[in-house]
Amino acid sequence: MPDMNLKGWIERDGVRLTPADVEQMLEAGPNALNGCGGEFLLTWDDCIARDAFGIIPGPVPPGTISCNGREILRINPDPAPCTLEEAIVTAVSLRSDEGVVAFSGGLDSALIAGLARLPCVTVGVEGSHDATWAAKAARMMDLDLEIVTPRENEVAEALDRVVRVIPEPTNPLEVSIATTLYFAAEWAAEHGHTRILSGQGADELFGGYARYLSSLDLARDLDRDFADLGRQRRRDQAVATLLGTNLSLPYLDVRVVRAARAIPAEEMVRGGVRKHPLRVVAEHHIPTEMAWAEKKAMQYGSGIWKVIQRLARRNGYKKSVQGYLTEISRAEHDH
């Protein structure tokens, strides 16, 4: 067979395939990929295939196989039905042979960390909420945790690199999330890891945002936010790729998505508690206190957002972080 290149990993029916397995499978033709899950960009002959949710960046749409520049097939993995708990356990297990967990100590990352038992990395400036909470959570769970504490000059340097690669380089929220991720990816790369397990997708699947508490149509809002995940993935993978790493997203495993989407929207937020079904699962795998705790969003909990605001003021933008980011973006563009 001509050169095959596999970025990421492929599975069928919950079993990871080796590159040799994939080569052998392709001898039967591209159709053999139809039922495969995983997170991958696969090239061979004049063909390119990309996983169903497009976790790994690539030049073809998510879930497609293109040969000679023309889409010939869709990829539709169809694993056996399972409970939400079985789905999450399987999804994390498939991704746990290598890598680190981006760990904030919150529900989403704590459940992944508790199941994966991989090294964890937290980003938080000195004295930040995330640094304090993650350290406590790691002790409770007996996790191997590294806390990265960026200084202001390091945040400024990261900003310069982040605005160069993300799709919305002047949106303050996008930039603060991407900059926080930058430091996790940098630490992972420096320690020889290429995979970063992240809790992305849990808020959109299980109703994690505070605005869902007052939603007038929760099902519609969850659908809208789930549809926006592709844009978030492009942002985050752009930063991860910059540092030679990739995000791996257990909550966006086809099993987990299917199990979550089968739960009625009104079950997601119960009695003022968000992500209720996920918390029930988490109780079986992490300390109860952590399964039911609320936590700040990453960019706020890490303290990175406050540093960006301070940098904006020091550069003459007392009221507009956006103006500061526009200046950085323009300067990068002029280079």
Q: Tokens 């499978």 correspond to what residue?
A: 25
Question: Which pLDDT belongs to residue 16?
Answer: 95
Question: Residue 87: pLDDT above 60?
Answer: yes
Q: H or E element: which one contains 43? A: strand 37-44
Q: Which amino acid belongs to residue 78?
A: D
Biggest distance spanned by C-alpha atoms of the chain: 62
Cα atoms found within 13 Å of the Cα of residue 61, Cβ hemisphere only: 7
pLDDT tens, position by position, 281-328: 999 999 999 999 887 666 678 899 999 999 999 999 988 899 999 999
From CA 293, how far away is CA 105, in angstroms rounded?
10
From CA 127, how far away is CA 244, in angstroms rounded?
29
All structural domains of the chain: 4-74 (no CATH), 84-301 (3.40.50.620)
Q: Which of 205, 21, 184 is nearest to 118 (CA)?
A: 184
Question: Residue 261: pLDDT above 90?
Answer: yes
Question: Which pLDDT belongs to residue 3?
Answer: 84
pLDDT tens, position by position, 165-181: 998 888 899 999 999 99
Question: Residue 107: pLDDT above 70?
Answer: yes
Mean per-residue pLDDT of the chain: 93
Which value, to the nearest 10 degrees, does the dihedral of the CA atoms of residues 281, 285, 289, 292 take?
-20
Output the pTM of the full model.
0.94
From CA 81, how far away is CA 258, in angstroms rounded?
9
Question: Which pLDDT belongs to residue 329?
Answer: 86
Average pLDDT over residues 198-207: 96
Alpha helix (H) ranges present in the chain? 19-26, 84-94, 107-116, 129-141, 152-165, 172-190, 202-206, 218-227, 229-242, 254-261, 276-282, 288-291, 298-301, 304-314, 321-334
333 to 114, 132, 237, 330: CA distances (angstroms): 42, 38, 21, 5
- Percent of the chain past pLDDT 70, that is, above it, reads 97
Question: Which pLDDT belongs to residue 294?
Answer: 81
Q: Which residues of 123-160 are buried (b: 16+ CB within 10 A; e: fewer)?
A: bbbeebbbbebbeebbeebebebbbbbbeeebbbebbe
pLDDT tens, position by position, 143-165: 999 999 999 999 999 999 999 99
From CA 157, how far away is CA 306, in angstroms rounded?
16
- Residues 277/260, Cβ–Cβ less than 8 Å: yes
Question: Residue 90: pLDDT above 80?
Answer: yes
Which segments within 56-129 are labelled E, that is strand? Answer: 64-67, 70-74, 100-102, 120-123
Q: Which of 192, 198, 126, 188 is nearest to 155 (CA)?
A: 126
From CA 76, how far away is CA 64, in angstroms rounded?
9
Question: Which pLDDT belongs to residue 150?
Answer: 97
Question: Residue 203: pLDDT above 60?
Answer: yes
